[in-house]
Every structure is written in C-alpha cells, then in structure tokens.
Amino acid sequence: MKAVGLLKYLPIDNPESLIDLDLPKPQPQGRDLLVAVRAVSVNPIDCKQRAPKDRIEPKPRVLGWDACGVVEAVGPEATLFKPGDAVYYAGDITRPGSNSEYQLVDERIVGHKPRKLSAAQAAALPLTAVTAWESLFDRLRIARNGQDRGRRILIIGGAGGVGSIAIQFAKRIARLNVIATASRPESVEWCRAMGADEVIDHRGYLASQLQERGIEGVDWILCCNDTDQHFAAMAVAIQPQGLICALVDSVQPHDLTVLKAKSAGFVWESMFTRSRFRTADMVEQHKILNRVADLIDGGEIRSTLGEVLGRIDAATLRQAHARIESGRSIGKLVLEGF
C-alpha cells in the first residue's frame, strides 16, 4: 500500500523529511478496524513528532493523526462497526498514523463520519473536535445543557484548528459568551465566523485588553497556544474559582501558587491520554465523535476545513507541514486521495 513516512528527522525543506513509501497492508486483530483512508488532515503534532533530532528509525515511521475513510475489515472482537461503514478518527500517537492507504485503529476511538460532509470536510475535524470537547466538557467541566449560559470563556488561539471548533462548541452547545484571540484581520474575521462574541490580540497582554473592554475576568480559559507566553495573563484574567486548561507543553516552570488566593485551577488536556493509557473510559472518544457528527448533520456545528492542498503524497505533506510550522494556519489543512 502507498504511505508517507520518515526514516530520518529532518527540517521540512529537506526532501527526505517525508518520503513516499510502499508498505505491507496490515491485518486487523482484537478490536481494530482496518480503514481505507480517503482524506487526512495535518496537525501541529505531526510537525512536533517530525521535528529534527539525531535518530534514525530502523523501519519507516508513518505520521498523521486525523483521517476519514471506509472500514474494509474488522478484528474478531470489534462490535461497533462493520465493513463499508464511513468513519472518522484521530487515532493513537503510539501507533502508525493515517498517512497511508490503509490504517489500523481501535474502534473505541472511532466515530461514524458526519453524513452531510465530504471526506475532506470530515477529515478536518476529529483530532481538534475531540481535544476541544474533552477540554471544555471533561477538563473545564462546563455544562453541556446550557446551564452555564452567558458565562465567559477566553479561547487563546481562536483561529487555529482547535480554537475554531472550541469556539463553536462553547457558543452553540454551552451558550457561553466567547472571547477569542487572533492577531491578523483574516484570523479575527475567521474567529467571528466561528461564533466569537469578541476578539482580542494575542500579540498584546491579554489581561489588560479584557480590562479595557470592561471585562473584570473570565470563568474559564482554554489556552491553545504558547502556555509560557500567556501564563501570567491567564492568572490575572481568571475569575475566583475559575479553571484554566492548557494544550501546549510549557518550557519554563510556572508558579501555581499565584492561583491559590482565587482557588483557581489549572489542568492539562492531552487528547492522546485515553488511547495511550487505554483508560477504562476510552470509548468516550467514540461517543464524542458520534455526538459531533450528529451536531454537524443537525446543522449546529460546521466543518473547520480551511483548504484542501492536494493528494496524500510526500511533496504535498511537506507543504502542509511547512504551513503549520509557520504558526499562521487558519482552520484545517486537508489532503485527499492517494
């Protein structure tokens, strides 16, 4: 089968950083599905995994953690899907990724593809939708039934892949007042199109921009970018008893005692936790993806697809990685077909 992967960890302008491969087609065991991949999207995690380092893989390593495809075969213990089902999923960081014609994925982290979306529109969603859902509803414990209606959330990095879908969940499911951050006219406009009530600029100090708008503080913060840059402002902007959720590793140490007087909380989200540790509630990601598909098909949420770059091959994936590494991506970049 065709696949794209790497042996060496090189800068993205090196043609060997991602290479076209011919690999054996895998066979499903246990609860695995064998999926014929139709479209994939590219996330910053792909670039982080590919980042230059002094290591050579003994066998080609396939990256990619977002796909839409069709189930070709199921393992003997699979019960949730059958051959022919259209599916979408992010996958498991400890296993080969989705940049290949066929991929094995545990059915507990797979959802039925939204019926109203094309393969490319659906491939844009799973990793970021699971991340945003787990962040808002599992980590920040925001009510999904509208009981928190009108309370405030700050979403830092609003026009990125995660921010785009998080704004929609916060606005359309939780009915919150959403303040997003963006730094360019086109990303500001995108945040508003996703449903943000206000947009402030993450190039400036966020806490004072809130104060200038008469906003004393926010009940929740979802930080989708640069935890180090924004930590001090988040500690100031969070309301007493508020909660902050961060997605991006910090490089510097941060003093959590600054949150004590406010009894405020800080929590990490990693969307790979459930699959990496095979947690007892791993099947929640199957349920989340199915709920998101229903919300899409019901017209409440829209795909965050920004652009389809071309076919799934090494040259196009190198372009996509370079775009993500620029840090100025809006919505999601998708590749379709082999």
Ligand X SMILES: NC(=O)c1ccc[n+]([C@@H]2O[C@H](COP(=O)([O-])OP(=O)(O)OC[C@H]3O[C@@H](n4cnc5c(N)ncnc54)[C@H](OP(=O)(O)O)[C@@H]3O)[C@@H](O)[C@H]2O)c1
Residues that bind ligand X (CB under 6 A): 43-45, 48, 127-128, 131, 156-157, 159-163, 181-184, 187, 202, 224-226, 229, 247-248, 269-271, 324, 327-330
28 vs 126 by CB, closer to ligand X: 126
Shortest Cβ distance from residue 327 to ligand X (Å)? 4
Shortest Cβ distance from residue 324 to ligand X (Å)? 5
20 vs 138 by CB, closer to ligand X: 138
Between CA 106 and CA 276 the distance in angstroms is 11
182 vs 292 by CB, closer to ligand X: 182
Shortest Cβ distance from residue 223 to ligand X (Å)? 8
73 vs 164 by CB, closer to ligand X: 164
- Phi-psi group of 241: left, alpha or beta (phi > 0 → left; psi -120 to 50 → alpha; rest → beta): left
Contacts within 8 Å (CB) and 24+ apart, 296-302 = 296/114, 296/116, 296/117, 296/125, 297/114, 297/115, 297/116, 300/172, 300/173, 301/165, 301/168, 301/169, 301/172, 302/168
71 vs 202 by CB, closer to ligand X: 202
Q: How many CB atoms lie within 10 A of CB 189?
A: 14
Tokens 């999923």 correspond to 89
Shortest Cβ distance from residue 59 to ligand X (Å)? 25
Shortest Cβ distance from residue 133 to ligand X (Å)? 11
Question: Which DSSP string do the residues of 225-268 spell out, in sequence order?
Answer: S-HHHHHHHHHHHEEEEEEEEE-S--SS---GGGGTTTT-EEEE
51 vs 315 by CB, closer to ligand X: 51
Most distant CA pair in the chain, distance: 60
Contact 331, 161 (CB under 8 A): yes
Give the strand order in the sheet containing 53-62. Answer: 19-22, 2-9, 53-62
Shortest Cβ distance from residue 103 to ligand X (Å)? 19
